C-alpha cells in the first residue's frame, strides 16, 4: 500500500519505505509507478527510468526462481552488461558479483546475446552436476534480492529530481 503526500506519488513511495521498508511492496509499487505514468506506455523511456524497470525484472526473476529465470527472458543478453553497470552505479555490489559469476559460466565469460541460443545454453547448464547457475544462486541470490531494493531506494532518493520531473510530464510531452 502506497502512502500519499502532497508532494506526489514518488515522494509518497520513497517516504513509505521509512514505515514499510524496502522490499516487495516497494519494488512492485515502483514498477507500477514507472511502467505507465499517466497512462503512457513504457516506450521511449529515459535510460535511468528504463534501467529501474530492468532492475525490477532482475530482482523479480532471481527472487522467484533464480538466475536461470532471468537469463530466459527476451533481450537479457543484449542488456546484461548494462544491468551490471546499473547495479554498480546504485551500489548493489553483491549483485554485481552475482552477475559477474553468472557471466563467467558462458563461453568467453560473456552472456550470449541471441535469445534462443542463450536459452538453449541455460537449459544445458541445468543438466550439469553441479549446476553452475545454482551455485551462483546459492552464493549470491539471498543477498541480491535484499540489496537491489535497498540500494535502488537510496539511489532514487539521491536522484529524486530526475525521476520526479519525468513522472510529472504530461503524456502529450512525449
| 19-74 per-position pLDDT tens digit | 455 667 778 777 777 775 554 445 566 777 778 888 988 999 999 999 999 999 88
Q: Domain limits of the chain?
A: 9-173
Instruction: Give the mean pLDDT of 73-80.
Output: 86
- Average pLDDT of the chain is 81
The DSSP secondary structure of 82-111, one letter per residue, reads HHHHHHHHHT-HHHHHHHHHHHHTSGGGS-
pTM for the structure as a whole: 0.80
Asked whether 13 and 7 are in contact (CB, 8 A), the reply is no
Amino acid at each position: 500500500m502506497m502512502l500519499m503526500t502532497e508532494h506526489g506519488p514518488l515522494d509518497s513511495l520513497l517516504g513509505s519505505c521509512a514505515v514499510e521498508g524496502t522490499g516487495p511492496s516497494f519494488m512492485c509499487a515502483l514498477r507500477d509507478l514507472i511502467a505507465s505514468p499517466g497512462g503512457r506506455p513504457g516506450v521511449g523511456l529515459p535510460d535511468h527510468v528504463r534501467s529501474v524497470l530492468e532492475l525490477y525484472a532482475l530482482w523479480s526473476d532471481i527472487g522467484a526462481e533464480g538466475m536461470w529465470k532471468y537469463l530466459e527472458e527476451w533481450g537479457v543478453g543484449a542488456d546484461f552488461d548494462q544491468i551490471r553497470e546499473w547495479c554498480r552505479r546504485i551500489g548493489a555490489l553483491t549483485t554485481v558479483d552475482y552477475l559477474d559469476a553468472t557471466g563467467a559460466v558462458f563461453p568467453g565469460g560473456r552472456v550470449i546475446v541471441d535469445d534462443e541460443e542463450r536459452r538453449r545454453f541455460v537449459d544445458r547448464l541445468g543438466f550439469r552436476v553441479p549446476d553452475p547457475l545454482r551455485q551462483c544462486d546459492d552464493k549470491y541470490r539471498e543477498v541480491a534480492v535484499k540489496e537491489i531494493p535497498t540500494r535502488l531506494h537510496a539511489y532514487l532518493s539521491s536522484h529524486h529530481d530526475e525521476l520526479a520531473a519525468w513522472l510529472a510530464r504530461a503524456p502529450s510531452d512525449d
